[in-house]
Amino acid sequence: MQLGLQFKIRANPTYQRFLRENSHWYKILNRHPELFNHFISEMKNQYRLTTADKLTDILDKIRLIQSFIRILN
């Protein structure tokens, strides 16, 4: 694996965890380091770190708070 790519992965614990859990990415990144952006997008999808996931989580929390307020009134 390219040295620069190794530094990027080791600088981010989330990348490291995803790589350990999905070891097939070792071979992919060794052979095709240009797929690093695809690696990141898969990691974000699996760990629900995309913008859409964050908005959904916020909306769910707002709905939960609203339901608590309705119960208290």
End-to-end CA distance of the chain: 59
Q: Per-domain residue ranges for the chain?
A: 3-72
Would you state the pLDDT for residue 41? Answer: 96
pLDDT digit string, tens, across residues 13-72: 999 999 999 999 999 999 999 999 999 999 999 999 999 999 999 999 999 999 999 998
* Cβ-contact 37, 8 below 8 angstroms: no
Q: What is the pTM of this model?
A: 0.78
Secondary structure (DSSP) of the chain: --HHHHHHHHH-HHHHHHHHH-THHHHHHHH-GGGHHHHHHHHHHHTT-SHHHHHHHHHHHHHHHHHHHHHH-
Would you state the pLDDT for residue 56? Answer: 93
Over residues 5-9, mean pLDDT? 95
Would you state the pLDDT for residue 1? Answer: 82
Would you state the pLDDT for residue 73? Answer: 79
